[in-house]
């Protein structure tokens, strides 16, 4: 394939992934619905490569969430939120499966998919940074997007770029994407300078999105050191020490510059929670949410077995945003734990295929799940499912390709660095 042909197909994939991951709600409607025909590609391919066990687990997730539906009507809540989440997981898996086959003939390797995902998030972060410095650009973008939630995205400190919303869900996407950049660097797909450019744009934008992603960034650094100790231990440790040293040495200057440029309100919102003594972190909301999670759980029978059927989206007292809490409130402890186990069991053959990539993102989302239900819903969940499915299929296809008589498609070399 020519470089121009590869570049064009990569641009098309980036557009498709932008609609899937960011799911922009525009004045013309939710553009992600345009991707539903890709599901038929998965059906046409008869789910080749997914395996019968994967389809059974998807059915199991749907049946577990159906327990929540019955529980919700039994407790006069009457909601289908958990069932919609399970159905959405199935749709994301089938779309990812279809994308794999659509672009496999285009010579795409697994790392090409990961690079496209990274570009989707980095470009959205670049849009946010541009909106910060050019308010008119923010107004132009927001004129094409519809309001989501109770936040006016045309003003204030919180930005969303072209995504359907912002807050914790978009904020967590930043450390998840930082994992993608570090992974591609460790694979020698990105140069050191390219990786640093991505990280700079991502981390700078998180100050204008939400604080949760900033709290999770140290986890990314620790996992990178753990999985790449032999290759990058000295370099990463030296970088962290230098970075932290400069941060603390220049903290006064940084504080003054931020306040002068954006005001005390932005400073308190973006970095004020990092004040010494844990008071800032407590004020950020994470600690209080964890405490709420520990208290808002089913404690009576039969709710400990079947839950209340509550997974957000309706009135419930006491209220909680915690993902774990909502899971157990929806279907009880046994079915709730089984839901988490089945999800990771579905991708058991790929989790250790690229351990830093898959395990680090999984750990980030499991931690983020404490605050909000972000493992199965939201931007990071969709991104995680895409790379899990594409990674699973890439691994299995590689095994088939090693045996020529089973190789179903002719692969061509990947053109790295086109974007």
Q: How many CB atoms lie within 10 A of CB 245?
A: 10
Answer whether residue 59 is part of any domain.
yes
pLDDT in tens, 171-208: 999 999 999 999 999 999 999 899 989 999 999 898 88
Answer whether residue 418 is part of any domain.
no
Q: Is the pLDDT of residue 60 over 90?
A: yes
pLDDT confidence bin for 410, thresholds 50/70/90: very low
Answer whether residue 414 is part of any domain.
no
- CA distances (Å), origin 213, targets 107, 167, 196, 210, 392: 34, 10, 18, 7, 27
Answer whether residue 416 is part of any domain.
no
Answer whether residue 143 is part of any domain.
yes
Residue with tokens 């900033």: 214
Tokens of 191: 């140069």
Q: State the pLDDT at residue 202.
A: 94
Percent of the chain with pLDDT over 90: 48
**What are the beta bridge partners of residue 26?**
29, 145
Average the pLDDT over each of 22-36, 376-390, 391-405 and give the range with the smallest value. Answer: 391-405
**By C-alpha distance, which of 317, 318, 298 is closest to 308?**
298
pLDDT confidence bin for 294, thresholds 50/70/90: low
Answer whether residue 170 is part of any domain.
yes
Answer whether residue 412 is part of any domain.
no
Q: How many CB atoms lie within 10 A of CB 61?
A: 23
Q: Is the pLDDT of residue 31 over 70?
A: yes
Average the pLDDT over each of 104-113, 261-270, 282-291 and give the range with the smallest value. Answer: 282-291
Q: Which domain holds residue 82?
A: 3-406
Answer whether residue 301 is part of any domain.
yes
pLDDT confidence bin for 407, thresholds 50/70/90: very low
- CA distances (Å), origin 330, targets 22, 168, 323, 372: 27, 22, 10, 14
What average pLDDT does range 81-110 have in this prediction?
90
Number of domains in the chain: 1
Rounded-to-integer distance, Cα 407 and Cα 359, Å:
29
């Amino acid at each position: 394939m020519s470089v121009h042909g590869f570049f064009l197909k990569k641009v098309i994939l980036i557009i498709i992934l932008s609609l899937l991951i960011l799911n922009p709600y525009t004045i013309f409607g939710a553009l992600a619905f345009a991707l539903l025909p890709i599901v038929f590609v998965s059906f046409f391919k008869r789910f080749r490569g997914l395996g019968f066990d994967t389809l059974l687990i998807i059915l199991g997730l749907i049946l577990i969430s159906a327990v929540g539906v019955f529980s919700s009507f039994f407790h006069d809540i009457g909601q289908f939120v958990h069932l919609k989440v399970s159905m959405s997981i199935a749709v994301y898996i089938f779309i990812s499966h279809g994308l794999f086959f659509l672009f496999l003939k285009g010579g795409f390797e697994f790392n090409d998919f990961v690079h496209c995902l990274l570009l989707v998030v980095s470009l959205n972060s670049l849009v946010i940074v541009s909106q910060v410095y050019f308010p008119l650009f923010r107004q132009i973008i927001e004129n094409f997007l519809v309001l989501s939630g109770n936040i006016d995205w045309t003003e204030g400190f919180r930005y969303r770029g072209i995504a359907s919303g912002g807050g914790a869900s978009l904020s967590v996407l930043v450390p998840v994407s930082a994992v993608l950049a570090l992974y591609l660097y460790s694979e020698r797909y990105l140069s050191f300078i390219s990786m640093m450019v991505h990280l700079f744009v991502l981390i700078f934008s998180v100050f204008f999105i939400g604080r949760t992603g900033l709290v999770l960034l140290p986890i990314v650094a620790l996992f990178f050191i753990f999985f790449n100790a032999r290759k990058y231990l000295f370099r990463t440790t030296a970088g962290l020490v230098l970075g932290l040293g400069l941060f603390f040495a220049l903290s006064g200057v940084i504080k003054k510059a931020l306040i002068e440029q954006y005001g005390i309100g932005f400073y308190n919102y973006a970095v004020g929670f990092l004040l010494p003594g844990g008071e800032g972190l407590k004020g950020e909301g994470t600690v209080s949410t964890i405490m709420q999670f520990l208290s808002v759980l089913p404690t009576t029978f039969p709710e400990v077995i079947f839950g209340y059927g509550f997974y957000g989206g309706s009135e419930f007292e006491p209220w909680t945003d915690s993902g774990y809490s909502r899971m157990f409130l929806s279907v009880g402890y046994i079915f709730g734990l089984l839901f988490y186990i089945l999800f990771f069991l579905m991708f058991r053959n790929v989790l250790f295929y690229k351990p830093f990539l898959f395990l680090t993102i999984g750990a980030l989302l499991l931690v983020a799940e404490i605050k909000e239900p972000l493992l199965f819903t939201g931007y990071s969940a969709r991104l995680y499912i895409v790379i899990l499915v594409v990674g699973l299929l890439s691994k299995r296809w590689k095994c088939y390709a090693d045996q020529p008589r089973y190789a179903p498609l002719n692969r061509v070399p990947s053109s790295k660095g086109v974007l």
